[in-house]
Chains A and B, each alone.
Chain A
């Protein structure tokens, strides 16, 4: 049996149902036993701008997108103009034939730089500036075209089921597109109906009309489309697989870890997590009455971190979720949490900066900022997850680090993770442990919140606890927490707090510090969501007999120098891969391990890396044809 590796793309204006179309497609694929890696790209816009969703489907474990799309379905012109050249020569394009004469000038959302590039290309190939023009190019490459008049399809259906409302019901275009794709791919029509029922479970009338449209379109494709190079007829289903969206790892991780307070200010791509926590605010607790997460939408990110610190001082596990600009506002209070030894967890869903940058696009450019965030010297942990499944368990660890070391923990996520939809192993809550460190249940005798101890960590009382009175201040303080400017106290307090950096490296298990996916002559170092495309590129090369090593660094501050050094012993050429301009991990690496990075593979277009791109760059490196700094640019 030949293995399946297939990529489908659906595109359309924002608000036209691209996402729900992709959800239906992903659900059906997952139900048929396939592994899914889906990714949504969208503008900072509510309605009208181009958005698209690529879903990669495989019978093996996959962790990334690839460059080639094998089937594109589009119900608007812009999707075709922007993506026609991504379709593989053995692939196909299902499109609305009514659009054939649409010119580039008719599509108001095509921006000038893109249009200029496209016009130059079409001119050089002697093609008109129309949909027909670009489709000719695709056809010349070998791509099969499947024109369908969406309008007449709806007209025929409306006559058949005697429902005049269906005529011209543009809202149905996404379901038509999905169903035509499923028909062409010979996928299960029952699963299609099930998925629609599922998605519209609260709106039975809408479900009905969608199902009629779906069945009719599916049959239309089966009857009219010639054989396609790909089909997805299903494989045997693996047990315990779930289909999750990007923020599920951290939000479910927070519930399980006992986070009971989250304050946040709306920001893309972080808010989905807070909204999910609020929607699921009442929690089921084993052998106890219900628990709850209090989610507060604050007036700004400064208030979000202030409230979180306030809640944490009561002994409540507390957190916030934000992105770069929001985190920038939090940095003063971050230092307050640092000097007052308050455990907090900040989930940082990065996007492309600086400033608002590319607000809805991917980036990993906040690493240096995060490691150095806050004025003054204070200990903190910066920790990064590489995929959604990892982020569930990492969230549990981040809360434990915060409690054990009484410090702020910044859990780095990013937009590529947040807007992915993937299949993965069902999360196992019992693999998360809860360690509250030196948090007290009761206080006896004299109490000093910042008492000097052997390990530099003082027993922690909480606001409102009997006999546990303490003081906090952003100023330097004595053991009670009262202001002190005494030079000797200052030395002892600074040493006490900063000693935690060594304690962290000594006590966080090395398997949580950095993970080795093999070390070879050529070895990659990276962090965060680049893990997915890297391990996929690694296995692509492996199939050709080329071994490339990869170390995923999860603990980014304090930097696990010793562990990383020992892992990298056998590596001759070091390749740093990250989604930013300056190779930020490379800089931290060099600062801690006096060793040069030989190659950087970087991407800062705001679009996530594909495994194809990394594969291509690695090949160039091995063939000694690469620049020291390879810059990637795939993706619309």
Chain B
């Protein structure tokens, strides 16, 4: 039975602020799940803590709203135990790149086949607008007493350097494009990262919807002036096409350089994709050949209430 978009929505009241960029992301995610026809009970949305943490309650699949900064740990554990399941983790930029940055880097090294979406708005919204890791040095958003004294993290650059094998950026007000990116990210064999620029209408009065739209750049001109542009509209080829140091290094460094572009021009789309890196499940299968056909969640561990695991060989080796 084909599922409709509405089937992926819950009737939980959504209490995000009017105009919040999060709406676009949750819509794009529901659209992507629907377009791919993913069975609702074979998918889990994991979320961190903060406004974005509520995402999992709005989507009618399994939903696990975890701890601040720890969403990737829960998601990876579930995916490893049940590799058949589609896993998408979401969280804010403070969650993933501040308190959770260690897990972000470690997840890249593992390359488990799942998707991580960061709702990137430069502020800690739910605690009233403190500076978050992606806010630029010297910027002063509405509720900061003084301008930001920290430099920003570069999410795309950090993802590429950490070993994520699909790295892209979307914009929450371009829902269709974002949906396409989510579909690509979920279909990618390995760990995907999606940095989604998402204005916080309540606390971030610097990177507003108008700012992204380039209203300040327009002046009197009638030309297109949005800061956001798509990499796929340029000559940029993000894909590692063959194994080889030269090719990989070229694609990695071009992604890093592209990730530094910010200001009047902000690239979105896929920065880097490399499916030649083995996903974690392949690495496990090299050690445990039947891992994918008999993963932890599917194993039968008892027979009529008694264990069926035979440790007699180990026990015999301990005989005196």
Interface residues of A (CB under 8 A from B): 27, 30-31, 237, 241-244, 248, 252, 255-258, 260-261, 263, 280-294, 296, 298-300, 302-318, 332-333, 336, 396, 423, 426-427, 429-430, 432-436, 462-475, 481-483
Contact = CB atoms under 8 A, between A and B. Distances in A.
A288 B320 CA distance: 30
Interface stretch (B69-77, B193-201, B236-244, B257-265): B69-77
B301 A464 contact: no
A237 B320 contact: yes
A289 B62 contact: no
A307 B103 CA distance: 11
Given A285-B309, A315-B297, A464-B41, A261 B80 contact: yes
A288 B77 contact: no
15 contacts: A237-B320, A256-B309, A284-B310, A288-B308, A291-B299, A291-B309, A292-B291, A306-B66, A307-B77, A310-B74, A336-B66, A429-B311, A463-B82, A464-B42, A473-B65
B190 to A, nearest CB: 17
A293 B84 CA distance: 17
A482 B106 contact: no
Nearest to B45: A471
Contacts of A464: 41-42, 44, 62, 82, 84-85, 297
Interface in B73-98: 73-82, 84-85
B67 A291 contact: no
B129 interface: no
Given A284-B309, A310-B76, A464-B82, 14 more contacts: A241-B320, A257-B301, A257-B307, A284-B311, A286-B308, A298-B73, A307-B77, A311-B77, A312-B77, A314-B297, A336-B66, A336-B67, A429-B311, A464-B297
Given A303-B103, A469-B61, A432 B307 contact: yes
A237 B313 CA distance: 21
A299 B106 contact: yes
A244 B73 CA distance: 34
A63 B49 CA distance: 49
A31 B313 contact: no
A433 B306 contact: yes
Interface stretch (B21-29, B148-156, B169-177, B282-290): B282-290
Interface of B: 10, 12, 40-42, 44, 46, 49, 54, 56-57, 60-67, 70, 72-82, 84-85, 102-103, 105-106, 284, 287-288, 290-291, 294-297, 299-303, 305-311, 313-315, 318-320
Contacts of B299: 258, 260, 285, 291-292, 316
Contacts of A465: 41
B296 A303 contact: no
Contacts of A293: 296
Contacts of A396: 307
B288 A258 contact: no
A310 B103 CA distance: 14
Given A302-B73, A307-B73, A294 B291 contact: yes
A333 B70 CA distance: 9
B297 A316 contact: yes
Contacts of B64: 310, 313, 463, 471-472
B313 A284 contact: yes
B41 A466 contact: yes
A290 B290 contact: yes
B78 A283 contact: no
B305 A434 contact: yes
Given A242-B318, A263-B77, A281 B294 contact: no
B2 to A, nearest CB: 17
Contact of B306 (A241, A282, A308, A434): A434
A261 B305 contact: no
A465 B39 CA distance: 11
B307 A298 contact: no
A31 B178 CA distance: 69
Contacts of A473: 56-57, 65
B77 A474 contact: no
A474 to B, nearest CB: 6
Contact of B80 (A248, A311, A315, A429): A311
B305 A302 contact: no
B81 A244 contact: no
Nearest to A423: B320
B318 A243 contact: yes
Nearest to B69: A302
Contact of B296 (A261, A306, A432, A434): A261
A426 B296 CA distance: 28
B301 A434 contact: yes
Most buried by B among A30, A283, A482: A482
A430 B310 CA distance: 10
Contacts of B300: 285, 288
Contact of A258 (B74, B301, B313): B301
A255 B311 contact: yes
A307 B309 contact: no
Given A261-B80, A286-B303, A472-B64, A294 B320 contact: no
A412 to B, nearest CB: 23
A252 B314 contact: yes
B178 to A, nearest CB: 24
A291 to B, nearest CB: 5
Nearest to A283: B309
Contact of A291 (B105, B294, B313): B294
A314 B46 CA distance: 13
A1 B76 CA distance: 62
B155 to A, nearest CB: 18
A519 B54 CA distance: 56
Contact of B294 (A292, A312, A314, A336): A292
B318 A248 contact: yes
A260 B301 contact: yes
A281 B314 CA distance: 12
A255 B296 contact: no
Most buried by B among A300, A303, A308, A483: A303
A514 B305 CA distance: 25
Given A299-B102, A473-B57, A483-B54, A426 B319 contact: yes
Given A242-B318, A244-B318, A306 B44 contact: no
Contacts of B297: 311, 314-316, 462-464
B308 A31 contact: no
B78 A310 contact: yes
A316 B63 CA distance: 17
Contacts of A244: 318
B41 A467 contact: yes
A435 B81 CA distance: 20
A31 B73 contact: no
B305 A243 contact: no
Contact of A310 (B40, B41, B81): B81
A373 to B, nearest CB: 15
B302 to A, nearest CB: 4
Contacts of A470: 62-63
Contact of A474 (B62, B65, B291, B305): B65
Given A307-B74, A464-B44, A286 B310 contact: yes
Contacts of A318: 77, 81, 296
Contacts of B302: 258, 434, 436
B320 A427 contact: no
Given A286-B308, A291-B299, A433-B306, A463 B80 contact: no
Question: Shortest 8 CB-CB distances between A and B: which pairs?
Answer: A306-B73, A310-B77, A258-B301, A307-B77, A299-B106, A30-B320, A260-B296, A311-B81
A197 B308 CA distance: 33
B62 A302 contact: no
B51 to A, nearest CB: 12
A282 B60 CA distance: 36
Contacts of A313: 64, 74, 77-78
Contact of B40 (A314, A469, A474): A469
Contacts of B287: 281
